[in-house]
Amino acid sequence: MNKRYYVTTPIYYVNDVPHIGHAYTTLACDVLARYKRARGYEVFFLTGTDEHGQKVEKAAQTGGETPLELADRVVKRYQALWEKLNISYTDFIRTTQERHKKGVSELFRKIEAQGDIYLGAYEDWYCTPCETFWTETQLLDGNCPDCGRPTDKLKEESYFFRMSKYQDALIEHIEKNPDFIQPKTRRNEVLNFVKEGLRDLSISRTSFSWGIPVPGNEKHVIYVWFDALTNYITALGYPDDPDGLVEKFWPAHAHVIGKDILRFHTVYWPTFLMAAGLPLPKTVFAHGWWTVEGQKMSKSLRNVVEPNMLIDKYGIDAIRYFLLREVPFGLDGDFSHSALIHRINSDLANDLGNLLSRSTAMLSKYFKGTLPAPEAGDDLDAAFKEKFAQAVTLVDRHMDDMAFNKALQSIWELVSAANKYIDDTAPWALAKDEAQRGRLGSVMYNLLEGTRIIALLVAPFMPDTAASILDTLGCDSENLSLEGQDQWGGLQPETAIEKAKPLFPRIETE
């Protein structure tokens, strides 16, 4: 098996500034990327920005700047946020980059050359905010069925992609590859949609100019979704593949997206790829949407949750933890400050933080901070160690399923088991009896060794916290590999371990 992993976020529109919803998708991809790296995979993790289209053109006009000026300004905000959130991406693609434009034109040309693109005329209802055409029957009370906003009737000359031709092939692909669209409910949704019949797709516009020109007919610009989706291969170097990355990493293992852009990724994109003779991504995973204190997040409601503010207030790792722990990936969730504070105080400050401070404090008190070697253990120890072996396997399975909340749950079962191990073994009682000195040493070793494994398992979710725990334990905090290091017995006796400072201060609320 070649251990390679290619994971992508959607590319974000530059007419909006980053909020918690964008941070969520990117964070999930970061956790996957970090986990796979820890499992010895060579990872390519792509993110970027979607900078063409009418929406961006309009937003720039409104602000009195050129679309590129707008993009240059907003892209920095995304990049700064990703840096702050500890996002370990490999590459950041902007659709205004030459490498991308070249690849998109080439894909267009290729599909056209083989007869799947033709020139026709288009008349339909267009929703500008969604950049989507709708048929009369799809409209809801004359408005866009997705966002509810008014639509305009547009007639224009347009290039069409013969999407209808790929209907049966797509159905077959979805049916034969149960992992292609996840979660399952989304798969059924798409399958039903495709079975209702695919129309050919309009893939060019003449009504505005901010985009990549259609090769050979510059009056047209290429439809923004054809342009945007192609980023997943242009970033690797399609079509020339100068660095061999297409060869190495395509098809992607996972396109992680929000549920709102499912159809683009599971109907349009795969049929473009089929037409171009390229393999399809292995998995498209659609996560749910966040509301805020029970309401849809929107500029007009002024309730947009700004990640920078949250990070400054609560810390990077607390936010990273909360977003992936609180809601099963795939379902909608609600963001509230009280839920966040509750998680920080109970799971982080209390459970994890206390485990580290209690165990290092006891080591410092009973062994002057020098880790003793363990003796042969009893049944309690065997059961304790066994829990770690089981959790390692479970976490691996949950990560493969992108069940982040379950992975964290499994890790927190270890945290609870370790805290319980302290209560069960009562080191303070052992310390009173010189004959129990060896036993006390074993208990200390087991506790801190368990904490080491916990730190490695949480590292993809909370990299700074993991590094701080590993530093405290005298381990190499740069080496987060789980291969081998997830086995019991990694801590070296005689290591000097100081009493840890609190990992997460409790947040007091009135």
What is the contact surface with ligand MSP in residues (CB under 6 A)? 10-13, 16, 21-22, 24-25, 50, 228-229, 231, 257-258, 260-261, 289-290, 297
Nearer to ligand MSP, 10 or 460 (CB): 10
Supply the minimum distance, in Å, between the C-beta of residue 138 and ligand MSP. 19
The span from the CA of 189 to the CA of 174, in Å, is: 11
The span from the CA of 269 to the CA of 493, in Å, is: 55
Nearer to ligand MSP, 26 or 359 (CB): 26
Nearer to ligand MSP, 340 or 456 (CB): 340
The span from the CA of 81 to the CA of 362, in Å, is: 39
Nearer to ligand MSP, 89 or 504 (CB): 89
Long-range contacts of 414-417 (CB under 8 A, 24+ apart): 414/387, 414/388, 414/450, 414/453, 414/454, 414/457, 415/351, 415/352, 415/355, 415/454, 416/351, 417/384, 417/387, 417/450
Nearer to ligand MSP, 6 or 290 (CB): 290
The span from the CA of 433 to the CA of 375, in Å, is: 17
Nearer to ligand MSP, 297 or 341 (CB): 297
The span from the CA of 402 to the CA of 146, in Å, is: 26
The span from the CA of 444 to the CA of 447, in Å, is: 5
Nearer to ligand MSP, 319 or 491 (CB): 319
Nearer to ligand MSP, 229 or 447 (CB): 229
Q: If you write DSSP's letter for every residue of 120-166 in order, what string do you get?
A: EEEEEEEETTTTEEE-GGG-BTTB-TTT--B-EEEEEEEEEE-GGGG
Residues composing the chain: 510
Long-range contacts of 172-180 (CB under 8 A, 24+ apart): 173/270, 173/280, 174/266, 177/282, 179/282, 179/283, 180/266, 180/280, 180/281, 180/282, 180/283, 180/284
The span from the CA of 249 to the CA of 245, in Å, is: 6
Supply the minimum distance, in Å, between the C-beta of residue 227 and ligand MSP. 9
- Please give the structure tokens belonging to residue 321: 């933890």
Query: Which parts of 200-330 fold into alpha helices (H)?
Result: 224-229, 231-234, 245-249, 262-263, 269-276, 307-314, 316-326
Supply the minimum distance, in Å, between the C-beta of residue 297 and ligand MSP. 5
Nearer to ligand MSP, 194 or 229 (CB): 229
Nearer to ligand MSP, 185 or 487 (CB): 185
Supply the minimum distance, in Å, between the C-beta of residue 377 and ligand MSP. 46
Supply the minimum distance, in Å, between the C-beta of residue 131 and ligand MSP. 9
Supply the minimum distance, in Å, between the C-beta of residue 21 and ligand MSP. 2
- Of 61, 42, 44, 47, nearest in space to 10 by CA: 47
The span from the CA of 391 to the CA of 402, in Å, is: 16
Supply the minimum distance, in Å, between the C-beta of residue 72 and ligand MSP. 17
Q: At residue 281, what is the residue type? A: P
Nearer to ligand MSP, 295 or 492 (CB): 295
DSSP class of residue 251? S
DSSP class of residue 198? P
Supply the minimum distance, in Å, between the C-beta of residue 146 and ligand MSP. 11
Supply the minimum distance, in Å, between the C-beta of residue 281 and ligand MSP. 12
The span from the CA of 159 to the CA of 214, in Å, is: 9
The span from the CA of 25 to the CA of 44, in Å, is: 16
Supply the minimum distance, in Å, between the C-beta of residue 59 and ligand MSP. 12
Q: In this chain, which residue has its C-beta nearest to ligand MSP?
A: 258
Supply the minimum distance, in Å, between the C-beta of residue 180 and ligand MSP. 17
